[in-house]
Structure 1
Amino acid sequence: MISAVDVEADTPVTIEWVELMPEHLLEALDNLPMLEHDYSDDAVDPFTDEWNDPYADAWNDILTSTEVVTRYADTVIRLPGYIVPLDIDDKQRVRSFFLVPYFGACIHVPPPPPNQLIYVDEVPAEVNLRVEDMYTAYWLTGRLSLEINSHELGTAAYRVKMQTIELYQYQFDE
């Protein structure tokens, strides 16, 4: 789904995660072959220099790309996702987090590509997000900026100044 965006508007634009990945990277993903796993006794270990996979560089380029979609810069967006807590205060409230497209992202290796991670900081105390909330899907609304933020759990190519966060509920189009 591609949305028309009025960058001056403060009305949130609901987007999907795929809209944050540049088109040429999506096409590259579609054109890469399926991974094949060789578990035979004479298979080459993929963690050695002897392993030669012609597509490994292409996969790595996509999974580490910080290229972004600029049309949403400085736009108030609304996007569903899960939180990955990054900073927690002494009352166990989440102060900053990554918003990720699926449950378990950043906890399992590798993390999503940077253009599929959103960094959120300055979480107001009254929001009262807790570590255990990472198992819950949310709608995040806020102003999107193109800003790289790195953490030991991953690198985000986007940042959102949060306006609201609410429990996710699927909405059927009528």
Structure 2
Amino acid sequence: MLRLLITLLLLCPALILASPREVDWLDLLPEEDYQAMLDMPEISHDWGAEAPGDFSSSLRSPDRNLPEVMYSTRVVNEMDGQHIELGGYPVPLETDEQGRYISFFLVPYPGACIHVPPPPPNQIVLVDYPAGIAIADIYQPLLLTGVLQIAQTSNELADASYRLQADNVENYPYE
């Protein structure tokens, strides 16, 4: 029986990918960062006026006086290479010829670049989605599936500790 199961998995790798692991943002935090977040003092949420439709605001915190955990790049090594399902909010980066977003950051809460301090790099995922998706509203949560990688990336907008090669991106299904 075990031999049959191994043969099936080798011949049909799609069986492994059929059920992605459901991941919560807290699963991406190492234990020491999780505890530091729990122990963190209240942070002001007054980060200026919103500019609707302007996705150029930075996810980098201008306030270098936040607790150290807010800049953490520490990761959970066991997450590397996992086929996951993760919900979050987009911060658009790059479009294709049809105007669909093929690259964006995924963050755990809406407005991360507008009214609230940005998440730490280990709570930002750079998403590659060659199929592209129209993103008209950064307050509309998305549900993504794909292979998660530990990959420290940095651009003018943000630092991210994870990268996701997305198989599927859709609006988050409300129940």
Task: State the distance in 2 between where 1:156 and 1:35 align.
Answer: 21
Aligned ranges 1:1-174 → 2 under 5 Å = 9-10=16-17, 11-34=19-42, 56=65, 59=67, 61-108=68-115, 110-124=117-131, 127=132, 129-170=133-174
Per-residue deviation, 1:33: 3.6
- The 1:149/1:35 distance shift into structure 2, 3 A limit, reads closer
Whether the 8 Å contact between 2:125 and 2:162 is mirrored in structure 1 is yes
Task: State the distance in 1 between where 2:106 and 2:100 align.
Answer: 16
* Letter of the 2:106 counterpart: L
Question: Aligned to 2:109, what secondary structure does the other structure show?
Answer: coil
TM-superposition CA deviations, 1:19-72 (whole Å, max 9, x none): 111111111222234459xxxxxxxxxxxxxxxxxxx46x0x211111001111
Whether the 8 Å contact between 1:106 and 1:153 is mirrored in structure 2 is no
- The 1:80/1:35 distance shift into structure 2, 3 A limit, reads closer
Question: Aligned to 2:130, what secondary structure does the other structure show?
Answer: coil
Identity %: 41
Aligned length: 140
Consecutive unaligned residues in structure 2, runs of 5 or more: 1-12, 45-64
* Letter of the 1:74 counterpart: G
Per-residue deviation, 1:109: 6.0
Task: State the distance in 1 between where 2:36 and 2:81 align.
Answer: 27
* Letter of the 2:39 counterpart: N
Whether the 8 Å contact between 1:66 and 1:115 is mirrored in structure 2 is yes
- The 1:110/1:34 distance shift into structure 2, 3 A limit, reads closer
Q: Give the structure-1-normalised TM-score.
A: 0.71
Match of 2:56 in 1: none
Match of 2:51 in 1: none
